[in-house]
Amino acid sequence: QQQVKQSPQSLIVQKGGISIINCAYENTAFDYFPWYQQFPGKGPALLIAIRPDVSEKKEGRFTISFNKSAKQFSLHIMDSQPGDSATYFCAAGGGQFYFGTGTSLTVIP
């Protein structure tokens, strides 16, 4: 059973637009929810993370929204830029993590 489901698989956004990626998880014991950004030829890098005791966390143009009752969390990228074009992975867990299948984001100039 897939522990973390991520959508969409791919996303195309105009420069300046808002990119939204969604994830849902199964295990209510998970207590840490990171998002990773991966560029071609590189390993994933931590972008932003949230714990279930808060409903939103913002860092610059990146915001995580967290809905504990629905077991869902999402990444919002405001004012999307071409440099944001990458693959984004959500993850959930604590100690050991389960990853989503990734979203390929393309920001068109």
Partner 1 sequence: EADIYQTPRYLVIGTGKKITLECSQTMGHDKMYWYQQDPGMELHLIHYSYGVNSTEKGDLSSESTVSRIRTEHFPLTLESARPSHTSQYLCASSGGLADNEQFFGPGTRLTVL
Binding residues vs partner 1 (CB under 8 A): 2, 4, 6, 9, 32, 34, 36, 41-46, 49, 89, 91, 94-102
Cβ closest to partner 1, residue 15 vs residue 51: 51
CA 99 to chain centre: 10
In whole angstroms, the minimum distance from the beta carbon of 86 to partner 1 comes to: 13
Smallest distance, partner 1 to C-beta of residue 92, A: 11
Q: Which is nearer to partner 1, 47 or 107 (by Cβ)? A: 47
Contacts for 43 with CB less than 8 Å, ≥ 6 apart: none
Shortest Å distance, C-beta 12 to partner 1: 17
Least separation in angstroms between CB 1 and partner 1? 11
Distance CA 72, CA 87 (A): 19
- CB contact at 8 A, 72 and 90: no
- Cβ closer to partner 1: 17 or 57? 57
Tokens at residue 61, please?
A: 């143009």
If the CB atoms of residues 102 and 107 are measured against partner 1, the closer one turns out to be 102
What's the CA gap between 91 and 109, in Å, rounded? 29
**d(C-alpha 73, C-alpha 7), whole Å:** 11
